[in-house]
C-alpha cells in the first residue's frame, strides 16, 4: 500500500519536472537532431564548430551580437580550438574602439584575443532601428534562452516556407513554421553555397544550419565538455563512496539487534 503510493509519488514528481513546454497551436515541434554534444558524454564536433564560427562571422554577425564571448574563447579547449595564431588573426581582423588615451581621445586599434566579440551595432536601439523594429537578440546564450534549445534554433534556420494560402504577411515579415505565431522578422539568410568552407565541406543550407547551431550551443555552454567529463568522474566517485559507506553502515548496525 505505502510502497505503491510511493511509486505514484515518484511518477507524479517525474511528471512535474518533465512538463511539456506550452506551445501555441500553430507552432510545429522542433526537428530532433542527433547532436554530438547530447548525452552524458557528449562532446562538440571540432570541425563543425570551426565551420559554424565561419557561418556566424560571415552571415549572423552582421546583425547579431555575441557580447559575452571573447576572441580568446575560440582557442580554449572544449571549443572550436583554433590555434593561437588563428585566434590572434581573427581578433586582429576587427577594429576595436579603445581609450580614452592620455589625451582623452578614443581611438581604434586591431582586436586582441582578450577583447569581447565586436557587436554590429553600438546599442540595442540602433540594432532595433536598423532591423525594422525587431531587435536581433544577442546570441551568447541564445540556445539556453529558447525552449527546445539547439533543436529549436536549427529548426528555425531551416523552417522558412512560403506562407500557406490565406496567410498574408506584412513587409519585412517572413513565414517560419517553427516560430511562435509562424511569423519572423529575420529573413532566410541561408542559401546553398553561401559560404565557402575552408575545409571543403559542401555548404548546403542544412549543413550551415547544423554547423552554426553547434557553434551557438558551444557559445551558450562553453563548459559543456568539461562539465560532462567532470560529471562522469564525480558520479563514479560518489557511487564508490556510497558503496563503501553502505558496507560500513551494515557492519556498524550488525552490532545491535536492529535492521538498518
Partner 1 sequence: MSEHEYTPKSKAGKWFNDRLPLLTLGAHLTDYPTPKNLNYWWTFGGILTFCLITQIVTGIVLAMHYVAHADLAFASVEHIMRDVNYGWLIRYIHSNGASMFFLAVYIHIFRSLFYGSYKSPREVIWIIGLMIYLLMMAAAFMGYVLPWGQMSFWGATVITNLFSAIPLVGDSITTWLWGAYSVDNPTLNRFFSLHYLIPFLILGLVVLHIWALHVPGNNNPVGIDIKKPSKDTVPFHPYITIKDAFALLVFMIIFAGFVFFTPNVLGHSDNYIPANPLVTPAHIVPEWYLLPFYAILRSVPDKLGGVILMFSAIFILFVLPWLDTSKVRSAVFRPIYRQFFWILVIDVLMLGYVGAMPAEGIYLVLARVGTIYYFLHFIIVMPVVGYLEKTDPIPMSISEPVLTGGAEPSLARKVNDKV
What residues line the site for partner 1 (CB under 8 A)? 2-3, 5-6, 8-9, 12-13, 15-17, 19, 22, 40, 67-69, 73, 137-138, 140-141, 144-147, 149, 180, 220, 222-223, 227-228, 230-232, 234-235, 238-239, 241-242, 245-246, 248-249, 252-253, 256-260
Nearest approach in angstroms of CB 52 to partner 1 is 18
Beta carbon nearer to partner 1, 161 or 226: 226
User: In which residue are the cell numbers 509519488 written?
Assistant: 9
Instruction: Please report how many Cα atoms fall inside a 13 Å half-sphere around the Cα of residue 79, on the Cβ side.
Output: 20
- SS3 for 178? coil
Phi/psi class of residue 255: alpha, beta or left (left: φ > 0; alpha: ψ in -120 to 50)? alpha
Smallest CA-to-CA distance from 153 within 82, 220, 96 is with 220
- Cell 546553398 belongs to 192
Cα dihedral value 196, 200, 205, 210, nearest 10: -120
Q: What is the DSSP secondary-structure string of 72-131?
A: GGGGSTTTT---HHHHHHHHHTSEEEE---TTS--EEEE--TTSBPPPSSSSHHHHHHHT
Nearer to partner 1, 60 or 69 (CB): 69
State which residue, 43 or 67, has the beta carbon closest to partner 1: 67
Q: Give least dist CB 198 to partner 1, A.
A: 26
Task: CB nearer to partner 1: give 41 or 191.
Answer: 41
Least distance (Å) between residue 6 CB and partner 1: 8
Q: CB of residue 239 vs partner 1: minimum separation in angstroms?
A: 7
Between residues 16 and 166, which has the closer beta carbon with respect to partner 1?
Answer: 16
Amino acid at each position: 500500500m505505502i510502497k505503491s503510493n510511493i511509486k505514484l509519488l515518484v511518477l507524479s514528481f517525474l511528471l512535474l519536472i518533465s512538463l511539456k513546454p506550452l506551445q501555441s497551436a500553430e507552432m510545429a515541434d522542433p526537428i530532433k537532431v542527433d547532436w554530438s554534444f547530447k548525452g552524458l558524454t557528449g562532446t562538440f564536433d571540432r570541425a563543425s564548430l570551426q565551420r559554424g564560427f565561419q557561418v556566424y562571422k560571415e552571415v549572423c554577425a552582421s546583425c547579431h551580437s555575441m557580447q559575452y564571448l571573447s576572441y580568446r574563447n575560440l582557442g580554449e579547449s572544449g571549443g572550436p580550438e583554433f590555434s593561437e595564431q588563428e585566434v590572434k588573426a581573427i581578433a586582429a581582423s576587427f577594429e576595436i574602439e579603445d581609450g580614452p588615451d592620455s589625451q582623452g581621445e578614443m581611438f581604434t586599434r586591431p582586436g586582441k584575443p582578450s577583447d569581447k566579440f565586436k557587436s554590429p551595432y553600438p546599442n540595442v536601439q540602433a540594432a532595433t532601428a536598423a532591423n525594422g523594429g525587431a531587435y536581433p537578440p544577442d546570441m551568447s546564450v541564445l540556445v539556453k534562452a529558447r525552449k527546445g534549445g539547439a533543436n529549436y534554433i536549427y529548426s528555425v534556420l531551416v523552417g522558412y516556407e512560403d506562407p500557406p494560402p490565406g496567410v498574408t504577411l506584412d513587409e519585412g515579415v517572413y513565414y517560419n513554421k517553427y516560430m511562435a505565431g509562424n511569423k519572423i522578422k529575420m529573413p532566410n539568410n541561408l542559401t546553398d553555397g553561401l559560404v565557402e568552407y575552408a575545409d571543403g565541406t559542401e555548404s548546403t543550407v542544412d549543413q550551415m544550419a547544423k554547423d552554426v547551431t553547434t557553434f551557438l550551443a558551444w557559445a551558450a555552454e562553453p563548459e559543456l565538455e568539461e562539465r560532462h567529463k567532470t560529471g562522469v568522474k564525480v558520479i563514479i566517485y560518489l557511487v564508490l563512496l556510497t558503496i563503501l559507506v553502505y558496507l560500513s553502515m551494515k557492519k556498524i548496525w550488525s552490532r545491535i539487534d536492529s535492521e538498518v
